[in-house]
Structure 1
Amino acid sequence: MNNATHDTVRAVQWSGNHLRLLDQRLLPAETVYLDIRDAGAVAEAIRDMVVRGAPAIGITAAYGVVLAARALPADTADWPAALEPDMQRLAAARPTAVNLFWALARMRGVLEAGATDVPAALEEEARRIHDEDLAANRRMGELGAALLGGSDAVLTHCNTGSLATGGYGTALGVIRSAFENNRISRVYADETRPWLQGSRLTAWELVQDGIPVDLVCEGAAASLMRQGRVSWVVVGADRIAANGDTANKIGTYALAVLARHHGVRFMVVAPTSTIDMDTPDGAGIPIEERPPAEVLSLAGHPVAADGAGAWNPAFDVTPADLIDAIVTERGVVERPDRGKMETLMGRMKDEG
């Protein structure tokens, strides 16, 4: 099958002078693109979850730097100093997704190189980050699909597809590749409370691309595994520590525990830009806590008793010893630990 048959969605688009973002807060009821023309609005879009997913956040932030540079006079004497306030604003938008800081570091590298036309050089780098992400996703799709064997169906959590990346997806890239090559026939997707990324986004994306999908409540995952309906859980990541501990959308850790009990294998799919070798283990990963209202209400309507509080961490950390494979564009790390992660990242430095 042609890849394009199951890969039609693009949530982050650069027009040449402004950024177009698919407003994911409105899906699946409405498909609305927002035209964004300044770095402050980019930061707000990241914070308010117009755009979400670690790779997409990084790409969007890179274009935000381009917009910030375009707003400055062409004869700006100190570009790094002039752009630093916008860099800081973008960095503060979401604290857990390491791709955000990785992308901003790459844009700072362009500034340090002292290009003659700084806005043009920054735009070239942002485009490169975007293109590299799409290529990496296709490679991860191939590598991850090869691990699935003859699985009839897989379970996924949150959204890890074209909506969360530059295109094709990480975990959903594996699913796309596996479906195209007849390795799986169906996907089960957790609803992913409280923002319902699985229900609103993953299901929408798979339906758009003709891949059969069934939604399940988080509480149904154990029964799904017990009945033998899935042999793999395939998820993405927002940050992977040096020892392989992985932060991903809240609920991922529970799936990993359930998978181990039921003999279901567990795969994390993420580009190497998500790996943070400066954070030794999961205890050092900052976990964003979001407003209680997201749990106490649904689509703006209260669903909890008046006076109830809520604890709303956006992510949790899955220990490396519960992960069967981490799939990156540079290769697969099975049963990850610090030594294997160091080998992967060391090999990447040697090659690059």
Structure 2
Amino acid sequence: MEGKDQAMNSKQKKDKSSKAERRALQEAQRAAKAAAKAEGNKASGTATSVNVKSAKAAKAPQKVDNTSVAASEKKGGDRPSEKDRKKDVPHPRMQYDDKSRVEKAKRRAVVNQTEARNRVELFRHLPQYEHGSQLPDLEAKFFQLDPVHPSVYKVGLQYLSGDISGGNARCIAMLQAFQDAIRDYTVPSEKTLVRDLTAKISSYVSFLIECRPLSISMGNAIRFLKSQIAKLPLTLSESESKSSLQSDIENFIYEKIILADKAIVEHAVTKIRDGDVLLTYGSSSAVEMILLHAYELGKQFRVVVVDSRPRLRGKLLLRRLVEKGLSCTYTHINAVSYIMQEVTRVFLGASSVLSNGTVYSGVGTACVAMVAHSFHVPVIVCCEAFKFHERVQLDSICSNELGDPDAISKVSGREDVNDLDAWANTENLQLLNLIYDATPSDYVSMIVTDYGMVDRFVLLEFWDICLYFPVTVKSADRRLSRQILAMHSS
């Protein structure tokens, strides 16, 4: 009997001890979890400092910590960090039908903008302001805008007044203004050149956007400049960094615009034959250089200049071509289907070429290209490679620029045409003056760039070349680019 009592007592003690061990194990696990939440990676060190009586109690929290660390490592390895993901996502474009964002933009704005009363509902996401009041207000603030460099201020005024309107001309003027701003820039105390200068450039860009929305090519040039600022070595002095950036801007203008246009002329002139009737729309600097160079080579051809209101930029091109001795015909876009019957080639300029092959150019370009396609006339688009963009656009509504609606209500030289003088007082009448349109790649036969001539069927492959092969338009690099293009075309 005594033996049985001793066995029962030992069994009860064993049960009590096992309960105590389990309780200690649970307390250790709770402590490990609390320490992991409070100190993160120091959880394992905190867990080992807890006094555990049994070996099992010591191993259990260690296992929990290891699994949690492994899970966190797996989670961090599979997915990029939030900061990296934000870098990959492009910033959304300003939507002007968002009232809260518009109010914030107004508070930061330098140029006082008055919203148009008769806004076009389909384009409410684009800025629609009354024209004519911004320029006098901005001129009056010349001595009050300390953050804006005078050269940048001057370019903004020229954008606003329309003195600088071409895509390449606007880009060159902007870069040259940034050159002057960098030359006069000094690094403030307790600040670094890279961060402070990038912020300065961003403020200048915001000011220029208020004067007139930037073109796609100007956005590419700004990204290039900011990337060059970010790549500056820390060992360079302030003067060396400034001279390096000024040299980078000068090289960009010379290689990506000036030399690129010369390369485009060399390629495109081979498509002009004696007896051709060449049609162009509006005024493109690249197309003008092609026509003049072909005429200098002695080729016999005739030019048809198609124009449209309200800007009538084709008149300026017509005047320059006639002064050089070229045989020209001038007509408006409403007669393009009639004149297209005698045309053999169509040469068009472009503001940008998007990644899906869409040509983003002045409004009316899509109409001319579609009419030429219906008459089986080849459409050749001339565009520098720095104007290529990874954006995809299917229409002219989601992204565009709106011009002055008063410009289409008046006819220059016809003061008797005044039926729409008081159109703003009519609530149910809205005038729409689009600046750009989108031409699908189906209506483009060939795109001529500084890298070579590209058929529309290999346009997407060529767009990858422009994006991933940073070649310039020097002679050796042109040979390399032609080899790459031949490789992708075959």
TM over 0.5: yes
- Per-residue deviation at 1:281? 3.5
State percent identity of aligned pairs. Answer: 20
CA deviation string 1:266-296 (max 9, x = no partner): 111010111112x124448721111201111
Aligned with residue 120 of structure 1, among 231, 243, 252: 243
The match for 1:316 is 437
Q: Does 2:219 correspond to 1:101?
A: yes
Aligned with residue 277 of structure 2, among 136, 147, 153: 153
Greater shift, 138-147 or 75-84, is seen at 75-84
Q: TM-score, normalized by length of structure 2? A: 0.57
Greater relative contact order (CA < 8 Å, ≥ 6 in sequence): 1
Q: Does 2:381 correspond to 1:268?
A: yes
* Whole-angstrom CA distance in 1 between matches of 2:207 and 2:242: 19
The match for 2:205 is 87
Aligned residues: 305
The match for 1:28 is none
Aligned with residue 351 of structure 2, among 232, 238, 241: 238
The match for 2:371 is 258
Q: Does 2:454 correspond to 1:333?
A: yes
CA shift in 2, pair 1:95/1:326, >3 Å:
farther
In structure 2, the residue corresponding to 1:155 is in which secondary structure?
Answer: strand
* Whole-angstrom CA distance in 2 between matches of 1:197 and 1:315: 14
1:1-352 paired onto structure 2 within 5 Å: 37-73=150-186, 77=191, 78-95=196-213, 97-114=215-232, 116-117=238-239, 118-132=241-255, 133-161=257-285, 170-199=286-315, 201-226=316-341, 228=342, 230-277=343-390, 279-283=391-395, 286-299=399-412, 303-306=417-420, 307-308=422-423, 309-336=430-457, 339-345=460-466, 348-349=469-470
* Whole-angstrom CA distance in 1 between matches of 2:463 and 2:363: 26
- Per-residue deviation at 1:113? 3.0
CA shift in 2, pair 1:94/1:237, >3 Å:
farther
- Per-residue deviation at 1:172? 1.9
* Whole-angstrom CA distance in 1 between matches of 2:432 and 2:443: 25
* Whole-angstrom CA distance in 2 between matches of 1:345 and 1:295: 38
Query: 1:342 corresponds to which letter in structure 2?
Result: W
Give the number of the structure whose residues are more often helix, by fraction: 2
**Contact 2:275-2:302 within 8 A present in 1 as well:** no
Q: Which structure: larger Rg? A: 2
**Residue segments in structure 2 that go unaligned for 5+ positions in a row:** 1-148, 424-429, 478-490
- Per-residue deviation at 1:250? 1.0
CA deviation string 1:311-332 (max 9, x = no partner): 1001111110000001000011
CA deviation string 1:44-98 (max 9, x = no partner): 3224321122222211111121233344336674222233211222355544621
- Per-residue deviation at 1:215? 1.6
Query: 1:79 corresponds to which letter in structure 2?
Result: L
Give the number of the structure whose residues are more often strand, by fraction: 1
**Contact 1:96-1:238 within 8 A present in 2 as well:** no
**Contact 1:292-1:312 within 8 A present in 2 as well:** yes
Q: TM-score, normalized by length of structure 1? A: 0.77
* Whole-angstrom CA distance in 1 between matches of 2:388 and 2:173: 19
- Per-residue deviation at 1:242? 0.5
In structure 2, the residue corresponding to 1:215 is in which secondary structure?
Answer: strand
In structure 2, the residue corresponding to 1:38 is in which secondary structure?
Answer: helix
* Whole-angstrom CA distance in 1 between matches of 2:227 and 2:290: 31
- Per-residue deviation at 1:187? 1.5
CA shift in 2, pair 1:120/1:198, >3 Å:
same
RMSD: 2.7
- Per-residue deviation at 1:300? 9.1
The match for 2:16 is none
Query: 1:224 corresponds to which letter in structure 2?
Result: I
